Amino acid sequence: MTTPLVTVAICTFNGEAYLEKTLRSVIAQTCSDFEIVVVDDGSTDGTVALIERFAREQARIRPFFRANHGLAASRNFAFAQARGAWIAIIDQDDLCYPTRLERQLEIAQQHPTAGLVFCNTHYINEADEVIGEHMSGFKLPERFIPKGLAANLLLQQGCFIDSESCFINRETVQALGGLDETLRYACDYEYFVRAGLEVDFAYSGEILAAWRIHANQATKRDSRKFIEMYQVYRSFVLARRLTLRTRASLLVSLGKSLTLHFLNRIRA
């Protein structure tokens, strides 16, 4: 069996509403050298049947069905199954635009020391209408961010990497270890900061994917996201390669996340 250049990792839980669109957006890529690893995290709707149907039609899809363990555990499992030299993340309700994999491979070739590549993304609603874009609020160096600086900027400015834009090489995944499975909402952000301490980043301002924002997203309803952010900030306060400015920013963020957590509980 030929080893693919890229593994597209899709984690899903009760994703029937949008997963078909996500899968079709990946299948339509202009790059042809990829496999799709789909990990179902114990869905109880029609997601399993949908995945099985697509897997029968598309030999490049490798489906896995597990009991529910949460996003971080599913992401770790998907990474462990990946055969590609590069792993592209896309989640159950998001979209890859047709040239995403092709362009991210080109960026990786242009910046051979980069262990993680990302891009700009659209925000879309339930009807696939564009309602914004992600990177307009961030101030980043042009195209390349060396390790150390990458982590500092993530901690100072917030998560400028949408998970559906993440394109990470397998060597980096193996070196970093898994995502923190105690984190339900902040697992990707914590992982990206860890990556930014260890490897160079490269990116494009091109919009190559879309993040769907809809009413059923759990992060809109659960105050745990604020306490998780507090835990992430606290874990990096003494990390190496952080500047004094970043440490000061972390102290402010610690206070804000705790305040938001308590305010959200009062309003609940």
pLDDT digits (tens, 9 = 90+) for 157-199: 999 999 999 999 999 999 999 999 999 999 999 999 999 999 9
Q: DSSP state, 85?
A: S
Q: Calculate the average pLDDT of the chain.
A: 94
User: Which fold does the domain 6-214 belong to in CATH?
Assistant: Spore Coat Polysaccharide Biosynthesis Protein SpsA; Chain A (3.90.550)
pLDDT band at 262 (very low <50, low <70, confident <90, very high): confident
Percent of all residues in the chain with a pLDDT value above 70, rounded to a whole number: 96
Classify residue 49 by burial, with Cβ atoms within 10 Å: 0-12, 13-18, 19+: exposed
Worst-scoring range by mean pLDDT, 24-33, 186-195, 201-210, 231-240? 231-240
pLDDT at 222 over 70: no
Instruction: Pull the structure tokens for residue 121.
Output: 């993304």
pTM to 2 decimals? Answer: 0.93
Q: Is 118 helix (H, G, I), strand (E, B) or coil?
A: strand
Q: Is 10 helix (H, G, I), strand (E, B) or coil?
A: strand
**Strand ranges, E, within the chain:** 6-12, 34-41, 61-66, 86-89, 95-96, 114-124, 130-133, 144-145, 167-169, 200-212
* pLDDT score, position 80: 98
* pLDDT score, position 214: 81
